[in-house]
Chains A and B, each alone.
Chain A
Amino acid sequence: MKVLVIEDEPALQTAIRQYLEQQGYICETAPDFPQAMAKVNDYDYDCIVADIGLPKGNGLDIIKELKALESEAGIIIISAKDSLEDKLSGLDLGADDYLTKPFHLSELNARINAILRRKHFDGNTNIHFNEIRIAPGSKSVFVKDTPLTLTSKEYQLLLYFIANQRRVVTKTALAGHLWGDAYDQAGSYDFIYSHIKNLRRKLLEAGGEDYIKTIYGTGYRWSDQ
């Protein structure tokens, strides 16, 4: 899977690239508008992560160009401006998602994952992780063909973990993913723990392995190692 990251801040650009490469993507970068336009015109990407505020141009024009080229690439806008207008105009132009800076790399990765799944496999290709099989179309999960009954939060949690497999995912990233801005109001992240506990229990009961490693005071890691 090829991803183009259009971001003018070198440090952020590197961080995104490193994280995505660790997750197995082929990652290319463009630091400004002309280079981004050149790359978009010359190569095919599966997903494009574009900052709106770019030197020498506007990220929204890149979306227009992509649409003019009838590109199949998924588009995620990342912007420091949390302005509804930008968000809506971006989505109107055909972007698939919008993330406000600062964001968790694990969140960006999960969103890229979701878009690629939707775009390339029409959402019907199963996701496999060892004995676990997820059918995104019907939102059903199997462990060695034993169906699991998961709540919607547990299902989202599982997808998030598998998208960010073998990476440490912080509690705040999980909370942000599952509850959006509303988690600001929580006051604590303890409520995440019960969802993870339930997910782990259900996987174990169906005969799965325990892949969720707790990293004390930090977060969790989904790992089979």
Chain B
Amino acid sequence: MKLLTQTTIYFLLLVLPLLTISTFYLFSQFNKEIGHEIDEELLNDQIQWLRYMDTVSIHSPVFQLSTPEFSLQPVTQPAQAKPVLESVMLYQDIEGKKTPYRQLTQVLSIHNNSYLLTIRKSLIERDDLIKNIFIVMLIVFGGLLVFILLLNRMLSKRLWRPFYQSLEKLHGIELKKMESVSFSPSSIKEFNQLHTALTAMITRIHADYQSIKELTEDAAHEMQTPLAIAESKLELLLQDETLSDAQLQAIAQSSEALERLARLNHSLLLLAKIENHQYDTSQPESLQHVTRKYLGLLDELIKDKKLTLETQLIHNTSWQMPAALADMLISNLVGNAIRYNYTGGKIKLQLDDQQFSISNTSSWPAIPEQQLFQRFKKGGAVLDSSNGLGLAIVKKICDTYNLPIHYYFENGVHTFTISRFSTNSKPSFAA
């Protein structure tokens, strides 16, 4: 969920009940106040009437008066000391329905006769008034709400702008070009603090990246040099003509083992380099081209094993990746297809602009899924030249480029497919 949506929702959740409560409070206050007012008016009227009736004679027509607002009727009950105030509903001819009234009744003793005094006031106007007040309130509150919401959105957008700008910058950041990232200063202290923290973090990450990069390169140097010395010394030793065949063979085997070690070192470094994004991206190469190149280079091996090669290479050079990685990817997959094949087996290779697929026959069983791309898991293979890193490198390259890779095993045929485009769309950060 977006920050702005979130704050708006919180704001609404807070303001709406508050507004509702205050509306009801105002409504009831008005109601009470107006009711009070009417009761006072009724009592006032009653006092006026009482004064008036003290002055008029017994025969005055007032004693026969009976209107909805005022009536005086003779009764037999004893006089009441206090008037009774109550709300009643009375039928009204004009309206044709019952309408609310507030009435005051009191049994009075006038000239030693008991009379029931009834004074009423219609509440219709009061109800109208309250209704009007309620509507006005709603309009005012509604308007206020909309205004506040708009203001909040506007302010938030304005205030958070530097934040979104920084976020944009962080999205576009690249490990190699990290040190050049700078944030524009903001008038908001917290954002400036964030920028300072981010800059410090980026500088540290870049320094770490640099030192890892140097470390892997130095490690390569430091390990390859002694290997080079040992290998060259063994090669010189081989030239000694006094050595027996067995001794020569021992030297050759040591030399081969050293070479394996050198290749292993090379592969591990390559993995580390891919992991750290340290490969050279300046020379993109099309998979098409690289595949053809390796089919050419490995042609000898394919013929030597009497393999049937079936290729479907659609001419399209749009699928590219850095040359070093494309080389590793294709040579490992094609190499495996040859290496684990049996004499007279088959290799089927398909490449179009969507998918790369290679399948080969093999006497090896299916690779267990949990070992598939694991380092040093050779599925029991004991081939001398295998270092168990080939598929791990393939997987790493695919991961780096977001290319889904799948493995199938069916009827003795192993198949690897790499799709150019990820089937699941990019993870979205929106709510």
Residues of A near any B CB (own CB < 8 A): 9, 11-12, 15-16, 18-19, 22, 53, 80-85, 100-106, 153, 167-168, 170-173, 179-182, 184-188, 190-191, 194-195, 215-219
Q: What residue in chain B is nearest A166 (Cβ atoms)?
A: B239
Residues of B near any A CB (own CB < 8 A): 217, 220-222, 224-225, 227-233, 235-236, 238-239, 245, 248-249, 251-253, 255-256, 258-259, 262-263, 266, 269, 280, 283, 294, 297-298, 300-301, 304, 323-324, 327, 331-332, 334-336, 338-339, 383-386
| A102 and B249 form a contact (CB under 8 A) | no
Known contacts A85-B280, A101-B224, A187-B383: A19-B235 contact under CB 8 Å: yes
| B245 and A187 form a contact (CB under 8 A) | no
Give the CA-CA distance A195 to B263 in the complex, in Å: 25
Pick the contact of A170 from B238, B269, B301, B323 — CB < 8 Å? B238
| A11 and B229 form a contact (CB under 8 A) | yes
| B324 and A102 form a contact (CB under 8 A) | no
| A19 and B300 form a contact (CB under 8 A) | no
| B252 and A218 form a contact (CB under 8 A) | yes
Query: What are the 3 closest A-B residue pairs judged by CB atoms, nearest first?
Result: A185-B335, A102-B228, A15-B232
In the assembled complex, 22 residue pairs joining A and B whose CB atoms fall closer than 8 Å, in A order, are: A15-B236, A19-B232, A19-B239, A22-B239, A80-B220, A81-B221, A102-B224, A103-B228, A167-B239, A170-B238, A170-B256, A179-B298, A179-B300, A182-B335, A184-B335, A185-B338, A186-B339, A188-B384, A191-B301, A215-B245, A217-B248, A218-B249
Give the CA-CA distance A87 to B228 in the complex, in Å: 18
Residues of B within 8 A of A181 (CB): 327, 331
Residues of A within 8 A of B331 (CB): 181-182, 184-185
Residues of A within 8 A of B339 (CB): 185-187
Since A80-B220, A80-B222, A80-B225 are in contact, a sample of 6 more A-B pairs with Cβ atoms closer than 8 Å, ordered by chain A residue number, is A15-B232, A188-B384, A191-B304, A216-B245, A218-B245, A219-B252
| B224 and A80 form a contact (CB under 8 A) | yes
| A84 and B324 form a contact (CB under 8 A) | yes
Residues of B within 8 A of A172 (CB): 255-256, 259
| A188 and B385 form a contact (CB under 8 A) | yes
| B245 and A105 form a contact (CB under 8 A) | no
Give the CA-CA distance A217 to B255 in the complex, in Å: 12
Residues of B within 8 A of A102 (CB): 224, 227-228, 230-232, 258-259, 262
Residues of B within 8 A of A15 (CB): 229, 232-233, 235-236
Residues of A within 8 A of B384 (CB): 187-188
Which of B229, B232, B238 lies at the interface centre, i.e. has the most chain A CB atoms within 10 A of its CB? Answer: B232
Give the CA-CA distance A187 to B385 in the complex, in Å: 5
Pick the contact of A81 from B220, B227, B231, B300 — CB < 8 Å? B220
Q: What residue in chain A is nearest B298 (Cβ atoms)?
A: A182
Which of A18, A53, A186 lies at the interface centre, i.e. has the most chain B CB atoms within 10 A of its CB? Answer: A186
| A187 and B386 form a contact (CB under 8 A) | yes
Residues of A within 8 A of B248 (CB): 168, 215, 217-218
Known contacts A18-B236, A182-B297, A218-B252: A190-B231 contact under CB 8 Å: no
Q: What residue in chain A is nearest B390 (Cβ atoms)?
A: A185
Q: What residue in chain B is nearest A187 (Cβ atoms)?
A: B339
| A84 and B256 form a contact (CB under 8 A) | no
Residues of B within 8 A of A190 (CB): 304
Known contacts A102-B259, A179-B297, A186-B301: A170-B235 contact under CB 8 Å: yes
| A12 and B338 form a contact (CB under 8 A) | no
| A170 and B252 form a contact (CB under 8 A) | yes
Give the CA-CA distance A199 to B202 in the complex, in Å: 61
Pick the contact of A105 from B225, B235, B258, B300 — CB < 8 Å? B235
Give the CA-CA distance A2 to B37 in the complex, in Å: 124
Give the CA-CA distance A85 to B217 in the complex, in Å: 12
Give the CA-CA distance A194 to B300 in the complex, in Å: 10
Give the shortest distance, in Å, between A164 (CB) and chain B (any CB). 10
| B297 and A180 form a contact (CB under 8 A) | yes
Residues of A within 8 A of B332 (CB): 185
